[in-house]
């Protein structure tokens, strides 16, 4: 089908007033969409009919898009770099922990404004599987808010209030899998052939065994293997994550079309950013780890083209927890647009590794391996999130610093970091190793940032101050790197580990719940009192956020240079000619020779010549 015919199918369902705008967007993006979809699905019988129906459905979704959102689309299309500003700041929270429900979250908008937040990521809030559901990452119905959190009307009211407050709502869009009680799974179990085709089902172990030879494991302890035997399906269903999370079959065009429409229906409720969960896993290929496959990127690019046509104000964010060299592809290029935002999990993990090793070599290697961004795209920087700190993304950078037998040494080095944050190796940290009981293997580390930096074990004022500095150091990097920084709920108040999950049978086996506490109102009330850790952290962080807003050099797309002349324990990052961040990752004082006079943006002092950085100290300096 030529893209003109394709476009006409969409235009045919639109009211007159939307025609000029739609025609313009189609002219820009329909040829790309056509090329991507025919590459993925062109071999299917009835491909043209399928594409025609998809285009008509997109037209209907555009026609249904509320006027306020269409106006926002236009504004943003005219300013495509709006989200790269140093004034953008994210905050991430579970609905139930932060506000109880969606209305409770709305009540906290003034607090978010006080911090300077312009982007709120609420962890999964759509109807999830009853019982175990991986913190909502097993969705039963994408068109319904989880009843315990409110209604669809509450969601629309929340997005409207957030929009008024200048805050974009980000929602997870779990596109790799659905819960085993999603309507498709239920129909498939009842014998519906079309529904069965939405999944990857194998009658016996032959193919699963062949795939397993090269597949990895995300939850090796509690959910080993990548297939689950389901009697009602008469075989094995692909499930990368928990057995109740069934991977979708993106080789089936119906899966793509249904998920694209689902995303746009959510966008029409006012969701402005989609966190595309587990994007690396969308396409399976025998003989590979079935991650980062070219087709996974084509699927994402096709979704991007659809968003560019129907809802260009919407942003796509890739959650791909993969080695640094695989990351840039998720942001696409000027010619092949993909996601707007991608998590930089290597930067995050390497900053924790640097703390544990008191050495920045792997962190520097990550930064060297981080290429410049395509237009209108950014990394997402963060200190902690709801998941574990996954160590294996750093294998290449850590191996680069090892001589003989690099891969084995890299594994050993990462395993040491994992033991360190679990509280071993004479460490100050309180945390847990994730999904690994083998002290010689590295998988991930869990724990709230404050506990991992030693606040929980600090039994004297000096230890407490060192822990606070470590925490601020990590935030300082996330805020000055040149990215969209996202704070994780509770970190701004130095909240510590929550061990209550051990008493909840549905959570006890997953130590990621250590870092999923309920918002601490007492700390929040005491946030002005700098005599305590909560207030001290909060006020220091706010100071950083405010300083960041004043420096255009800190925008996501402004240049960044790693300075090689700093001691191994120090990361020196120049932003343009006039801004410099210095971070001491060690417990020893370090000196750095400043080129010329600089002003400390945080305390106003003038510095010149040799600067001594106190243990774990961070300085934000501006020239002159
Ligand atoms: C994502 O994460 C989510 O962030 C997790 O909370 C979910 O459990 C998972 O998907 C399934 O929906 O590999 O790139 O801690 O890093 O599970 C996707 C392990 C992922 C996570 C991993 C993850």
User: Residue 181 sits in a domain of what CATH number?
Assistant: 3.90.400.10
Task: State how far the Cα of 486 lies from the Cα of 121, in Å rounded to an integer.
Answer: 9
577: annotated active-site residue: no
CB atoms near residue 279 (< 10 Å): 29
Average pLDDT for residues 525-542, to the nearest whole number?
96
Q: How sure is the predictor about 39, in pLDDT bands with cuts at 50, 70 and 90?
A: very high
Q: Which H, E and C letters describe 96-125, residue by residue?
A: HHHCCCHHHHHHCHHHHHHHCCCEEEECCC
The string of pLDDT tens digits covering residues 259-301 is 999 999 999 999 999 999 999 999 999 999 999 999 999 999 9
The string of pLDDT tens digits covering residues 584-619 is 999 999 999 998 999 999 999 999 999 999 999 999
Ligand 1: does its nearest atom lie under 6 Å from the Cβ of 390? yes
pLDDT value, residue 75 = 97
Task: Please count the structural domains in the chain.
Answer: 2
Determine the distance separating the centroid of ligand 1 and the alpha carbon of 39, expressed in angstroms: 28
Minimum CA distance residue for ligand 1 atom 8:
134
Ligand 1: does its nearest atom lie under 6 Å from the Cβ of 296? no
Pick the last residue of a domain from 247, 275, 304.
247
Q: Using the atom order of ligand 1, give the atom closest to the CA of residue 322.
A: 14
579 in Cβ contact with 553 (< 8 Å): yes
Q: How many CA atoms lie within 13 A of 87 on its CB side?
A: 6
The string of pLDDT tens digits covering residues 460-483 is 999 999 999 999 999 999 999 999
What size, in residues, is the chain? 624
Task: State how far the Cα of 496 lies from the Cα of 447, in Å rounded to an integer.
Answer: 8
Minimum CA distance residue for ligand 1 atom 12:
137
Residue 404 clears pLDDT 80, i.e. is over it: no
Minimum CA distance residue for ligand 1 atom 3:
277
Structure tokens at 23: 């025609």
Determine the distance separating the centroid of ligand 1 and the alpha carbon of 323, expressed in angstroms: 15
Q: Using the atom order of ligand 1, give the atom closest to the CA of residue 345.
A: 16
State the Cα angle at 490 between 84 and 453, rounded to 5°. Answer: 95
Q: Using the atom order of ligand 1, give the atom closest to the CA of residue 385.
A: 4
Q: Using the atom order of ligand 1, give the atom closest to the CA of residue 386.
A: 6
Q: What is the DSSP string of 345-388?
A: HHHHHHHHHHHHHT--HHHHHHHHT-PPPPTT-EEEEES--SS-
Residues in Cβ contact with 86 at an 8 Å cutoff, skipping those fewer than 6 apart: 548, 549, 551, 552, 553, 554, 555, 556, 558
Determine the distance separating the centroid of ligand 1 and the alpha carbon of 278, expressed in angstroms: 6
Task: State how far the Cα of 370 lies from the Cα of 539, in Å rounded to an integer.
Answer: 31
Residue of 182, 218, 293 best suited for mutating to test ligand 1, as the one with most atoms within 8 Å of CB: 218
258 in Cβ contact with 173 (< 8 Å): no
Task: State how far the Cα of 6 lies from the Cα of 54, in Å rounded to an integer.
Answer: 9
Is residue 613 a part of any domain in this protein? Answer: yes
Is residue 425 a part of any domain in this protein? Answer: no
Question: What is the pLDDT of the chain when averaged over all its residues?
Answer: 96
Q: Which of 507, 469, 486 lies closest to 343 in space, CA to CA?
A: 486
Determine the distance separating the centroid of ligand 1 and the alpha carbon of 276, expressed in angstroms: 11
Q: Which of 108, 85, 159, 133 lies closest to 485 in space, CA to CA?
A: 85
Structure tokens at 14: 């639109």
Ligand 1: does its nearest atom lie under 6 Å from the Cβ of 535? no
549 in Cβ contact with 86 (< 8 Å): yes
Residue 438 clears pLDDT 80, i.e. is over it: no
Q: Using the atom order of ligand 1, give the atom closest to the CA of residue 134.
A: 8
Minimum CA distance residue for ligand 1 atom 16:
387
252 in Cβ contact with 197 (< 8 Å): yes
Determine the distance separating the centroid of ligand 1 and the alpha carbon of 547, expressed in angstroms: 33
Residue 435 clears pLDDT 90, i.e. is over it: no
Determine the distance separating the centroid of ligand 1 and the alpha carbon of 497, expressed in angstroms: 20
Is residue 596 a part of any domain in this protein? Answer: yes
Minimum CA distance residue for ligand 1 atom 5:
387
Coil, strand or helix: which one is 192? Answer: coil
Pick the last residue of a domain from 220, 247, 274.
247
Q: Using the atom order of ligand 1, give the atom closest to the CA of residue 241.
A: 11
Ligand 1: does its nearest atom lie under 6 Å from the Cβ of 242? no
Q: Using the atom order of ligand 1, give the atom closest to the CA of residue 279.
A: 14
Proportion of the chain above pLDDT 70, given as a percent: 100
Minimum CA distance residue for ligand 1 atom 4:
387
Determine the distance separating the centroid of ligand 1 and the alpha carbon of 435, expressed in angstroms: 13
Is residue 279 a part of any domain in this protein? Answer: no
Residue of 125, 219, 241 best suited for mutating to test ligand 1, as the one with most atoms within 8 Å of CB: 241
Determine the distance separating the centroid of ligand 1 and the alpha carbon of 512, expressed in angstroms: 11
Q: Using the atom order of ligand 1, give the atom closest to the CA of residue 176.
A: 12
Minimum CA distance residue for ligand 1 atom 6:
387
Which domain does 223 fall in, by range? 177-247
Q: How sure is the predictor about 223, in pLDDT bands with cuts at 50, 70 and 90?
A: confident
Residue 136 clears pLDDT 80, i.e. is over it: yes
Determine the distance separating the centroid of ligand 1 and the alpha carbon of 216, expressed in angstroms: 13
Q: How sure is the predictor about 222, in pLDDT bands with cuts at 50, 70 and 90?
A: confident
Q: Which residues of 175-196 are buried (b: 16+ CB within 10 A; e: fewer)?
A: bbbbbbbbebbeebbeeeeebb
Task: State how far the Cα of 144 lies from the Cα of 155, in Å rounded to an integer.
Answer: 10
Average pLDDT for residues 420-444, to the nearest whole number?
87
| Residue ranges in 108-171 assigned as alpha helix (H) | 109-115, 152-164
Task: State how far the Cα of 414 lies from the Cα of 392, in Å rounded to an integer.
Answer: 8
Q: Spot the catalytic one: 73, 132, 319, 397.
A: 319
Structure tokens at 363: 């962190």
Is residue 348 a part of any domain in this protein? Answer: no
Minimum CA distance residue for ligand 1 atom 23:
278
pLDDT value, residue 437 = 64
Residue 387 clears pLDDT 80, i.e. is over it: yes
Ligand 1: does its nearest atom lie under 6 Å from the Cβ of 137? yes
Residue 225 clears pLDDT 70, i.e. is over it: yes
Minimum CA distance residue for ligand 1 atom 20:
278
Ligand 1: does its nearest atom lie under 6 Å from the Cβ of 124? no
Is residue 109 a part of any domain in this protein? Answer: no
Q: Which residues of 594-614 are buried (b: 16+ CB within 10 A; e: fewer)?
A: beeebeebbeeeebeeebebe
Q: Spot the catalytic one: 272, 277, 496, 498.
A: 277
Minimum CA distance residue for ligand 1 atom 14:
278
Is residue 192 a part of any domain in this protein? Answer: yes
319: annotated active-site residue: yes
Ligand 1: does its nearest atom lie under 6 Å from the Cβ of 347? no
The string of pLDDT tens digits covering residues 111-133 is 999 999 999 999 999 999 999 99
Q: What is the DSSP string of 30-74?
A: HHHHHHHHHHHHTTSTTHHHHHHHHHHHHHHHHHTS-HHHHHHHH
pLDDT value, residue 442 = 82
pLDDT value, residue 217 = 87
Ligand 1: does its nearest atom lie under 6 Å from the Cβ of 227? no
pLDDT value, residue 63 = 98
CATH value at residue 608: 2.60.40.1180
pLDDT value, residue 619 = 97
Ligand 1: does its nearest atom lie under 6 Å from the Cβ of 277? yes
94 in Cβ contact with 339 (< 8 Å): no
Structure tokens at 600: 């400390």
What Cα–Cα distance (Å) separates residue 533 from each residue in 108, 464, 592?
A: 22, 8, 29
Is residue 614 a part of any domain in this protein? Answer: yes
Pick the last residue of a domain from 226, 247, 268.
247
Coil, strand or helix: which one is 611? Answer: strand
Residue 402 clears pLDDT 90, i.e. is over it: no
pTM score of the predicted model: 0.97
Average pLDDT for residues 331-359, to the nearest whole number?
97
pLDDT value, residue 220 = 84
Beta bridge partners of 612: 591
Determine the distance separating the centroid of ligand 1 and the alpha carbon of 319, expressed in angstroms: 8
Ligand 1: does its nearest atom lie under 6 Å from the Cβ of 258? no
Q: Using the atom order of ligand 1, give the atom closest to the CA of residue 388.
A: 15
Proportion of the chain above pLDDT 90, given as a percent: 94
449 in Cβ contact with 455 (< 8 Å): no
Determine the distance separating the centroid of ligand 1 and the alpha carbon of 480, expressed in angstroms: 26
Residue 224 clears pLDDT 70, i.e. is over it: yes
């Amino acid at each position: 089908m030529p893209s003109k015919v394709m476009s006409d199918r969409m235009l045919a369902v639109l009211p007159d007033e939307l025609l000029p705008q739609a025609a313009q967007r189609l002219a820009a993006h329909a040829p790309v969409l056509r090329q991507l979809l025919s590459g993925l699905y062109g071999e299917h019988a009835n491909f043209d009919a399928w594409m025609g129906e998809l285009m008509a459905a997109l037209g209907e979704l555009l026609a249904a898009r509320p006027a306020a959102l269409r106006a926002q689309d236009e504004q943003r299309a005219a300013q495509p770099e709006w989200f790269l500003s140093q004034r953008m700041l994210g905050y991430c929270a579970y609905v139930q922990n932060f506000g109880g429900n969606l209305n409770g979250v709305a009540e906290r908008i003034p607090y978010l404004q006080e911090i300077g937040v312009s982007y709120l990521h609420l962890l999964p809030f759509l109807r999830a599987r009853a019982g175990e559901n991986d913190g909502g990452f097993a969705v039963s119905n994408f068109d319904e808010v989880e009843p315990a959190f409110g209604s669809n009307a509450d969601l629309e009211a929340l997005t409207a209030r957030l929009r008024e407050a200048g805050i974009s709502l980000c929602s997870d869009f779990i596109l790799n899998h659905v819960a085993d009680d999603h309507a498709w799974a239920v129909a498939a179990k009842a014998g519906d052939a079309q529904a069965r085709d939405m999944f990857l089902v194998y009658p016996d172990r032959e193919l699963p065994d062949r795939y397993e030879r090269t597949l990895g494991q995300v939850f090796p302890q509690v959910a080993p293997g990548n297939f689950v035997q389901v009697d009602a399906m008469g075989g094995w269903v692909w499930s990368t994550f928990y057995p109740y999370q069934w991977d979708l079959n993106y080789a089936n065009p119906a899966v793509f079309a249904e998920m694209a429409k689902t995303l746009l229906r959510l966008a029409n409720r006012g969701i402005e950013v989609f966190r595309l969960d587990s994007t690396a896993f969308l396409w399976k290929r025998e003989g590979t780890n079935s991650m980062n496959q070219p087709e996974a990127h084509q699927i994402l690019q096709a979704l991007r083209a659809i968003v560019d046509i129907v809802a260009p104000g919407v942003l796509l964010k890739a959650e791909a927890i993969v080695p640094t060299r695989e990351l840039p592809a998720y942001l696409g290029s000027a010619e092949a647009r993909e996601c707007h935002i991608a998590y930089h999990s290597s930067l995050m993990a390497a900053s924790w590794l640097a703390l544990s090793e008191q050495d920045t070599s792997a962190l520097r290697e990550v930064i060297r391996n981080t290429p410049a961004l395509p237009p209108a795209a950014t990394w997402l920087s963060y200190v902690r999130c709801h998941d574990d700190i996954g160590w294996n993304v750093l294998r290449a950078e850590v191996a680069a610093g090892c001589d003989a037998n690099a891969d084995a040494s890299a594994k050993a080095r990462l395993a040491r970091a994992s033991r360190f944050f679990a509280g071993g190796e004479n460490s100050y940290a309180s945390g847990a190793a994730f999904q690994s009981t083998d002290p010689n293997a590295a998988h991930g580390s869990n724990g709230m940032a404050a506990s991992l930096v030693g606040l929980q074990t600090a039994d004297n004022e000096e230890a407490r101050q060192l822990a606070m500095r470590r925490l601020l150091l990590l935030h300082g990097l996330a805020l000055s790197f040149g990215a969209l920084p996202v704070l994780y709920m509770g970190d701004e108040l130095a909240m510590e580990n929550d061990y209550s999950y051990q008493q909840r049978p549905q959570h006890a086996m997953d130590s990621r719940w250590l870092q999923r506490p309920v918002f601490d109102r007492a700390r929040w009330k005491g946030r002005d009192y700098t005599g305590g850790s909560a207030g001290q952290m909060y006020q220091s962080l706010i100071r950083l956020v405010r300083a960041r807003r004043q420096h255009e050099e800190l925008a996501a797309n402004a240049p960044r240079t790693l300075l090689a002349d700093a001691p191994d324990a120090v990361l020196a990052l120049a932003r343009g000619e006039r801004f410099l961040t210095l971070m001491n990752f060690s417990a020893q004082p370090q000196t750095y020779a400043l080129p010329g006079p600089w002003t400390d943006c945080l305390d106003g002092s003038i510095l010149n010549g040799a600067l001594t950085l106190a243990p774990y100290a961070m300085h934000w300096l501006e020239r002159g």
